[in-house]
Structure 1
C-alpha cells in the first residue's frame, strides 16, 4: 500500500503509543465470499529486542467466519 511521506511514522515508540491511545482497528480479510473488515481491539508492545508485538482479540464468531484455524496449527 502506498504511504505518502507526510504520513510516515518511523518512531516505534510513537507507533505503539498511537495504538495504545486508539486500540480499535480493522482486521481486513479476503475469502471466497469477498472482502470483509472487522473492528477488533489491538494491544501493542515492544519486546526486549525492539521488535513490535501486536496482539488482537477475535470473537469466536469472527474467528469462525474468517476460518483463522487454517493459519494456526
Structure 2
C-alpha cells in the first residue's frame, strides 16, 4: 500500500488526512457564525486593498509594482 512513498510522503499524507475532519467542521460551522465586522467598514476595505496589493500570506511573488518600483 505504501510502496514508492518516502517517509516524508507518508508524513504529508497523514497530515492532510488529519485536516479533513477539521475542514469539514469549519465548512459546517461557517454558516452559523457571522463576521464581527461589516464588509463595508473602513478596516475591512483597507484589508481587502492590502490583500489585493500583496496577496494572501504576505509576499507571494505576485505583488503589484508601484510607479516608483
Q: With the length of structure 1 as denominator, give the TM-score of the two structures.
A: 0.29
Higher relative contact order (CA 8 A, sep 6+): 1
Q: Which has the higher strand share?
A: 1
- Based on CA coordinates, which of the two structures has the bigger radius of gyration? 2
Q: With the length of structure 2 as denominator, give the TM-score of the two structures.
A: 0.30
